[in-house]
Amino acid sequence: MNKTACPRVSFDFTGRFLPPVYILVFIVGLVANGWGLKSLLHNWRKLKIINVFVFNLGLADILYLLTLPFLVVYYSMKSKWIFGEVFCKITRFCFNVNLYGSIGFLTCISVYRYLAIVHPVKVMGRLTFTRSVIISVIVWLLVSVQSLPDMFFTKAPRNNTEKCFVTTENAHVEDYLKYTLGWTLTGFCIPFLITLGCYGHVASVLRTLKRTDKVLKQRSLKLMFILILLFSVCYIPYHAFRNLDLLARVLRRQGICRKWYNGVYIARQISRALVCLNSALKPLVYLHGNEDVPFQLRQQLQRVRQMLINRFLSNPSRRPSALTVDEL
């Protein structure tokens, strides 16, 4: 144990690393989620049960993506928050609602797939549109209640309103660690185990049922791969390093210094970028969770291809050879 001053942590790493990631996610996520939501709304009358959860996934992403420009300004100005403490708390609240709302709706999709494939007869007529809407409302309420205590923790140091902490100040870090451990268990670990169990059973059933439609098999297995990818890349590192970083801060307050503190801090910031990427990666769920979107995407690509062909054919100066036209 070392009671001397702890080695310096590279706090300036955050300002260099996060803004470019946030800008990229904002652009890609807004376009992808906007297009996905538009496709769902366009086919609202024939909205299937699973698409209710996909629609709510998109809403959660849009809610978070709209806060990213403010965070880009904050970190670009070397962690100088100019939008007030109330909006700071709202921004952090939107992130938490997006994170745990996404996990909740992805879990709902997993359970739905499990019931529809493994127990199709038992759930026939029970998986209704109305019940899916009710479940979605319950998920929003649970996530909001779970995220609400975070807003009561101080998000800026005393006598300094130019900070916007992701967690809280050092004076309350012990209490915040206890809170976030419980949060990790209920908001992440339990849903992750449910998702893993559902898709593990689904994969086993699909492998043994020879009569199952090949398209259904491929779609279910692809969706399982996407969800496991989201959890593994975006969610697991974030929760692991968030708790480790909080533990390091608690130990540092007690005068206990370790060489790994700086490494954990940097890994924590990288995990924040990875969890942010979930808003850009989740539109993949549209392609495999919503039966209509892949067809619409193919239609759009065909229209673009035909438009390009017509444009070249209508312009004599740019008209390609017959061979090139045929190749198009």
Q: What is the pTM of this model?
A: 0.82
Which amino acid, one-letter code, is at 42? H
Task: Check if the beta carbon of residue 266 is closer than 8 Å to that of residue 27.
Answer: no
Report how far apart, in Å, the C-alpha atoms of 202 and of each of 67, 125, 207, 221, 246 are: 37, 20, 8, 9, 37
Question: Which pair of structure tokens corresponds to residue 242?
Answer: 């968030």
Distance CA(6)–CA(2), nearest Å, equals: 8
The single-letter code of the amino acid at 298 is R
**Using CA atoms, how far apart are residues 279 and 196, in angstroms rounded to an integer?**
21
User: In this structure, which amino acid lies at residue 236?
Assistant: I
Position of tokens 């309350």?
172
Residues 6+ apart with CB under 8 A from 299: none
Q: List b or e across 205-226, with b for residues whose CB sees 16 or more CB atoms inside 10 angstroms.
A: ebeeeeeeeeeebebbbebbeb
Q: What is the pLDDT along the chain (328 residues), one digit of tens a residue?
A: 444 567 777 788 888 899 999 999 999 999 888 887 887 777 666 556 778 888 898 899 999 999 999 999 999 988 889 998 899 999 999 999 999 999 999 999 889 888 888 888 887 777 788 888 999 999 999 999 999 999 999 888 776 668 899 999 888 999 999 999 999 999 999 999 999 898 888 888 877 766 556 666 677 777 778 888 888 889 999 999 999 999 999 999 888 888 898 899 999 999 999 999 888 888 777 666 554 444 444 454 455 556 666 665 665 554 444 333 232 2
CB 20 within 8 A of CB 71: no
307: buried, middle or exposed (CB in 10 Å: 19+, 13-18, 0-12)?
exposed
